[in-house]
Structure 1
Amino acid sequence: MELSIKYWGNPDKPLLVLLHGFLGCAEDWDIFIPQLPNFYCAAVDLPGHGASTFNESSRLTNFASVADTIVKQLGRRSFFLLGYSMGGRIALDIMRRYPKQVPKLICISGSPGFEDPMLAHARYEKDKKLLANCEKQAFLHKWYRQNLFYGIPEDDKYAQLFARRLCGNFVEMQKGLDIMSVGKQPNMWPWLKCTQQSILYICGRMDTKYFAVAQRLQKETSVKISIFEECSHMPHFQKPLIFAQLVNNYYAHSKT
């Protein structure tokens, strides 16, 4: 499977690879890319999302195959990574499995995975039915009314986000979720506890689930933490200018 990747900027500058979340697409990063002039940006449509549709010859069959495909298709010796939620999980897996190619990473509201295999299996069983036989508009309204997305439907950028989500192909996205579900993700806590690689974890304080993850990471690992006040699961969406400044500062003077 050939993933759709959209490039911006000067190829001679450091490569920054951007991975969107569930239901998203490469265009989710359009608002940020003009604020990142020091990078050659590559926004990936993850499997089943945007223009990355499945076909009969697709070899994407498990979680690890997504990371392998992205690294192979980029064809670069090294690059920076930035991933949100589902994209954050994929980004962590890329750094974990290709440590020499990823000197620095930003993970936004991403899960390190389940430590209990039974909980992972239960989550996968739930996820594999998530988009089946549902009416798109009703599903999206319900999805963004979860506590996880507190304050996002009231954001002045929400209408544009919602319209973009309506363009998504739910059949294809369900196929993508079948291999990228957190229930299919390996438990990355053991790796995170021992790695000395440079990782910045960002989340919103109003997102109680991932704020708890951030607190544990701060206590048990060397991962750097940045908490966005008055934000929930999408701090980069809610405070884009502050987020872009943080990204620029984190990668400043770093080399790929």
Structure 2
Amino acid sequence: MLYSQMVERNDGGEIEAQQPIPVFLHGFLGSSLDWNNCISHLNLPHAICIDLPCHGLSKYCEVQNFEEACQQVQLTVLSKLKKEKRAPNTPLVFVAYSLGARIAMFGMAKQAFPDLNIQGAILEGGNFGLIQEQENVLRWEDDKHWSKRFATEAIEDVLYDWYLQGVFSSLDDDQREELVELRSDNLGSQLGCMLRATSLAKQPYLLDDLKQLSVPLLYVCGEKDQKFRILAEKSGLPYQLVKNAGHNVHHEQPQQFSSIVKAFVDTL
């Protein structure tokens, strides 16, 4: 089972006691701590934050594929609800970034969270999947390359190169330095394991299934994140662009992102 924590605010009074509880899923290289700044701006009574497999305090919990990752998330949420003496059908809303968003989208689109009462999801910078087989072949080769580097090289060296990828082009040198330092406490071999297990090449194209869901979805991306901005605009899903942000909106603009989360949850 994965590490998780229930964040509770005692100053919330009777704020929407029946509102869905947000479940925060971080991105690749991250941990549940990534959401701290965002949650500090939220006036919601409860939230669940999870360390995904091979990350944070779940670094030795390995999975082989998306199905197993979803099983671990579901098991962890149900265990946390039980520990907090809450009903297993407690309403939930996913707030998920990048890898976390892909796991959330897979689980919702493929009914891999059958025992969770999911009322909606905020999807930040998540890729819906690749359509062309050649794209999948190239992505698999690329992910195997990064996986080998994470497993065999000094993690600081790999991270410097990782954050030079085009998707992170909005970062300046100081921001890159900050992220390299922040992410260097990860275990490279475990990151490689998760990268192989949840490679975009192994993820089915999920957008069509997501559009068939009856629960509301909101896609969020930074205005500087050209690749995912195009995905959002072409998706047909409701989306929101955040000014002065690149790929990692909740890190770069935590207050704006928390306002989006609060507004979304208030509508449910």
> TM over 0.5, yes or no?
yes
- Conserved in 2, the CA contact under 8 Å of 1:152 and 1:238? no
Secondary structure of the structure 1 residue equivalent to 2:56: coil
* Structure 2 equivalent of residue 36 of structure 1: 42
Q: Aligned letter for 2:266?
A: A
Seen in structure 2, the aligned counterparts of structure 1 residues 229 and 35 have a Cα distance that, compared at 3 Å, is closer
- Conserved in 1, the CA contact under 8 Å of 2:4 and 2:76? no
Count matched residues.
245
* 2:89 corresponds to 1:71: no
Secondary structure of the structure 2 residue equivalent to 1:43: strand
The counterpart of 1:83, out of the listed 91, 96, 100, is: 96
Distance in 2 between the 1:67 and 1:195 partners? 17
Q: How does 1:34-183 map to 2 (within 5 A)?
A: 34-54=40-60, 60-75=63-78, 76-77=88-89, 78-96=91-109, 97=111, 98=113, 101-130=117-146, 131-154=150-173, 160-183=178-201
1:109-138 CA deviation, whole Å, 9 max, x = no partner? 100111223422331232123024222212
Deviation at 1:158, TM superposition (A): 5.9
Distance in 2 between the 1:84 and 1:113 partners? 15
Distance in 2 between the 1:193 and 1:33 partners? 28
- Conserved in 2, the CA contact under 8 Å of 1:47 and 1:173? no
The counterpart of 2:259, out of the listed 233, 240, 245, is: 245
- Conserved in 2, the CA contact under 8 Å of 1:9 and 1:37? no
Distance in 1 between the 2:43 and 2:257 partners? 14
TM-score normalised over the length of structure 1: 0.86
Secondary structure of the structure 1 residue equivalent to 2:55: coil
Deviation at 1:10, TM superposition (A): 5.8
Unpaired segments of 5 or more residues in structure 1?
none
Deviation at 1:25, TM superposition (A): 0.9
* 2:221 corresponds to 1:225: no
Secondary structure of the structure 2 residue equivalent to 1:203: strand
* Structure 1 equivalent of residue 5 of structure 2: 6
The counterpart of 1:212, out of the listed 223, 230, 240, is: 230
* Structure 2 equivalent of residue 203 of structure 1: 221
* Structure 2 equivalent of residue 20 of structure 1: 26
1:120-177 CA deviation, whole Å, 9 max, x = no partner? 233123212302422221222222233322333356x665543220111111111111
TM-score normalised over the length of structure 2: 0.83
Q: CA RMSD in A?
A: 2.3
Identity of aligned residues (%): 26
Secondary structure of the structure 2 residue equivalent to 1:3: coil
Distance in 1 between the 2:265 and 2:223 partners? 23
Deviation at 1:205, TM superposition (A): 2.1
Q: Aligned letter for 1:245?
A: S
Unpaired segments of 5 or more residues in structure 2?
11-16, 79-87
Distance in 2 between the 1:119 and 1:147 partners? 17
Higher helix share: 2
Q: Aligned letter for 1:95?
A: M
